[in-house]
Structure 1
Amino acid sequence: MKIRKFKMNESGLNRFFGPLEAKIMDILWNDVEMTIKDVQQVLDREKLTNFNTVMTVMNRLVEKGILQKRVAGRSSLYKPVLSRNEFLHTQSKEMTNELMDEFGNVVVSHMLDALEEVDEDLVAKLEQKIQELKKGR
């Protein structure tokens, strides 16, 4: 699954999704499987939206391959295809690969500059990964 639009000026899940999509995904990542009505009721506590809007958005998320839908009796149950961590891992890897393909050395340089602002554990993991890559060559 590839997210087509990444929004630099947003934060969190809103970088990948529209505001309602992000709220729906957040709800579904905290539960097992839910019906449209279940999700709408959680959203309704915040007075956010009606059933038909939630149904439309959830079915579009199914079409995009982000949610899967299973029929159980007279109800349809929805759940994310990937866990939150799997989704974020996949999307960040895809973005990194695209940046590397398009901008190469510039991206590596900026990533190294950004390391000055991260904790030492992350730098140590990077050093370990570099050593593993060198051994593999």
Structure 2
Amino acid sequence: MKIWKFKINESGLNRFFGPLEAKIMDILWSNDEMTIKDVQQVLDQEKSMNFNTVMTVMNRLVIKGILQKRTEGRSYLYKPVQSRVEFLSTQSKEMTYELMDEFGNVVVSHMLDALEEADDDLVAKLEHKIKELKKGM
């Protein structure tokens, strides 16, 4: 699944989703399968939310391939297709490949600049990965 709009000026899940979509995904990633009513009740704790609005957004997330739904009795249960970690990993990988395809050396240069602020473990992982790539050449 690929998110087509990445909002650079947002933070967290809002970079990938609209505000209500992000809240719904956060709720679903923090719970098991849920009905629309279950999600609406969690959202209502923060701000009164119309059932039809929640239903529309959740069904759009199904169409986008972010959520899956199944029938149980007379209710639909919704759950994310990927865990939060899997989703963020997939999206960051997609973005990295797209940036490399489009901007190549500039992206690598900026990533190296960003390493000045990275923790030592991340730098060590990068060094290890570079060694592995050189062995494969």
Asked if TM exceeds 0.5, the reply is yes
- Once superposed, which parts of structure 1, at least 4 consecutive aligned residues long, lie more than 3 Å away? none
Give aligned-pair identity as a percent. Answer: 85
Q: Deviations over 1:24-83 (max 9, x none)?
A: 000000111000000000000112411000000000000000000000110000000000
Other structure's SS at 1:17 match: coil
Q: Which runs of 5+ in 2 are unaligned?
A: none
Q: What corresponds to 2:38 in structure 1? A: 38
Output the CA distance in 2 between the equivalents of 1:81 and 1:119.
31
TM-score (normalised: structure 1): 0.99
- What is the total number of aligned residue pairs between the two structures? 137
Other structure's SS at 2:95 match: helix
Q: Deviations over 1:84-127 (max 9, x none)?
A: 00000000000000000000000000000000011111000000
**Superposed displacement of residue 136, structure 1:** 1.1
Q: What corresponds to 2:55 in structure 1? A: 55
Q: Which runs of 5+ in 1 are unaligned?
A: none
Q: What corresponds to 1:70 in structure 2? A: 70
- The alignment's C-alpha RMSD in Å is 0.5
TM-score (normalised: structure 2): 0.99
Does 1:134 find its partner at 2:134? yes
Superposition pairs for residues 1-137 of structure 1, below 5 Å? 1-137=1-137
Counterpart of 2:117 in structure 1: which amino acid? E
Counterpart of 1:81 in structure 2: which amino acid? V
